Amino acid sequence: MPGNLAPLHILIVDDSLHIRRLVLTMLRAMGCVHMHEAKNISQARDILARKPIDLALIDWMLDDPAGTGMDLVTYIRKSGTNDMVYLPIIMMTGHTERENIELARDMGVTEFLAKPFTARNLHTRLAILIDQPRPFVKTRSFFGPDRRRRHTGPGVTGERRLHLAKRTTT
């Protein structure tokens, strides 16, 4: 289990009541007590303005005339307030094609949670955000979490290739 979730304030944004309830139930079972839910961008923006949110789970395909989950991500990353611009964002989506993942990372999404998902999948994404937080990068064309994964094991200095070569030759 990733650290203590009890002090975290987590925002769940999904137009499906069923998905929001499912995520709330999973988070509660993991020890989270401060959960906020929004069914659209307007509600999400209101909660972000009033509450100290530590992490957001956002559905990509919101049924909202104001836009998609990616529009909310853009709003967060361009908000100009430190409480929001550095907010870790897990994008919940059934659209896991490579081009969608690359687009979302380019827009500032921190992690992905592919629908349908399990409590274990959610736990894994939370553990990554809590135990291996990504630094933020700011350039002229990008602001968001570093898109590169940090590796501390084999592979950093070519060790992984060496291990693979030994396995295939023995």
Please report, in tens digits, the pLDDT of each residue of the chain (170 residues total).
556 788 999 999 999 999 999 999 999 999 999 999 999 999 999 999 999 999 999 999 999 999 999 999 999 998 887 778 899 999 999 888 888 888 888 888 999 899 999 999 999 999 888 888 888 888 877 777 876 655 444 433 433 333 333 333 44
pLDDT recorded at residue 165? 35
pLDDT recorded at residue 153? 41
pTM: 0.81
**Strand ranges inside 17-135, DSSP E:** 34-38, 55-59, 89-93, 111-114
The rounded distance, in Å, linking the Cα atoms of 54 and 7 is 9
pLDDT recorded at residue 3? 64
Kindly state the DSSP code that residue 130 receives in the 8-state scheme.
Answer: H
Which residues, at least 6 apart from 151, have a Cβ–Cβ distance to it below 8 Å?
A: none
pLDDT recorded at residue 2? 57
pLDDT recorded at residue 121? 93
* CATH numeric code, 9-169: 3.40.50.2300
pLDDT recorded at residue 135? 80
pLDDT recorded at residue 166? 34
Structure tokens at 91: 């994008």
pLDDT recorded at residue 155? 39
Q: What is the signed CA dihedral for 160, 163, 164, 170, rounded to 10 degrees?
A: 180
What size, in residues, is the chain? 170
**Domain extents for the chain?**
9-169
pLDDT recorded at residue 148? 67
